[in-house]
Structure 1
Amino acid sequence: MSSTFAKWYDFFMSPLEQSKFRRIRKELLSNAKGKVLELGSGTGVNFPLYTNADKVFAIEPNQHMIDQSKSKCKLATVPIEMINASAESLPFEDNSFDTVVATLVFCTIPNVDKAINEIKRVCKPNGKILLFEHVKMENTVLSVMQERFTPLWKKVCDGCCLDRETLKAFTTHGLEIVKFNQFYKDLFIVAELKNKS
């Protein structure tokens, strides 16, 4: 991921983040409790919104994003530890976390299956997985458009895939949906899942 993308990410996302997205994130993250792992923390937009976590371990593979997130880390009311790592190879022991958080990150993770297996490994039995992701839409015309635009979009937005079926990937791996909601028709999903393993 480039330094330019990291530098301008907050600017381009600001219109969405200042309206609906902030409310979605705030409500979702109120359920993040205990020892929390955040995948792909990006520029740290979630950091000030944690209220019930004991501590958040925020992993991010892009050092430029980590550098951008330091100012938001200072706004957090819970301890945040930032770690340069990828979702496919988490530097933590089995059953380490009460809650795992992923917001607008699974569109860019290269190996989704490997990342989900890592989440299952580090999340405690019956632990929570909290998701806020954009996904492939159910409408046939719109989903075909997503598929067609994805190759170009990936180049422009540093690997972002428009047509990922993220929730399906999680349930295929045996994670149980506890709560589920959709926004902007069904372009964005919010879900709480349980690690049954």
Structure 2
Amino acid sequence: MPETRVNHPIFARFYARLSQAMEHRGLAERRQKLLAGLSGQVIEVGAGNGLNFAHYPPAVTRVLAVEPEPRLRRLARTAAGAAPVPVEVVDGLADRLPAEDATFDGAVASLVLCSLPNPDSALREMYRVLGPRGRLCFLEHVRAESAGMVRVQRLLDATVWPLLAGGCHTGRDSVAAIERAGFTVDRLERFMFPRVRTPASFFVLGTASRAPAVAG
């Protein structure tokens, strides 16, 4: 399969270093919480350098990890070799996932929705490849809750930030995008990471189900 045309060499090197620092500052524990309870076959969209792999629970029988950036994909393949569950790392784009309909029990989006050209299309793809009882686990930095910081995020996103950060946007409302794709958000936790207030410090962690909520 030919490689996709996603190429951010400078950002990939920077992110590989930054992400390790973030792990030691507490993000590793968030990843573990993100993946807890998953089982069966899982697709991870935008696997980056594979830092989630070490945290998959033993009930997961297979992970298909999709990563289009070649340098990050090479790092992810190294990480897959030490994972506690079988992980296959492949090239691919989030809005054209290399998977059949309804083939996965879980999908993982971790620090990826901020950088996708079309997050709505990618989330519809995740919805497509999940089975009827499948669930989406997400960990993302998102739009701030204060109007002043939102203005700062919009300014950054309209100017230099995406160019410097591999297409990343600081102020996307990823929870609303998840719901637009047809998911029902079951659990949502908002937190700041790191605790220093910056435009990229506003995070959400949660799960969403493919099946509609049942009135009770």
TM-score (norm 2): 0.87
RMSD between aligned alpha carbons?
1.4
Provide the aligned length of Structure 1 versus Structure 2.
Answer: 197
How far apart are 1:57 and its partner, in Å? Answer: 0.2
Q: Which has a greater percent of helix?
A: 1
1:84-124 Cα offsets, whole Å, 9 max, x none, are 00110011111010000010000111111111111111001
- Partner residue of 1:13? 19
1:102-156 Cα offsets, whole Å, 9 max, x none, are 1000011111111111111100112110000000111100111111112211011
Q: How does 1:120-135 map to 2 (within 5 A)?
A: 120-135=127-142
- Partner residue of 2:47? 41
Specify which of 138, 149, 160 is matched with residue 152 of structure 1. 160
| Dislocated runs of 4+, deviation >3 Å | none
- Partner residue of 2:146? 139
1:17-57 Cα offsets, whole Å, 9 max, x none, are 11221111011112221100000001111111112311100
Gaps of 5+ in 1: none
- Partner residue of 1:66? 73
Equivalent pairs: percent with the same residue? 29
Asked whether 1:190 is paired with 2:196, we answer: no
Q: Structure 2 CA distance, aligned partners of 1:65 and 1:166?
A: 23
Asked whether 1:86 is paired with 2:80, we answer: no
Gaps of 5+ in 2: 1-6, 196-200
- Preserved contact between residue 16 and residue 72 of structure 2 (Cα < 8 Å): no
- Partner residue of 1:97? 104
1:32-83 Cα offsets, whole Å, 9 max, x none, are 2110000000111111111231110000111121112222112201000011
How far apart are 1:179 and its partner, in Å? Answer: 0.8
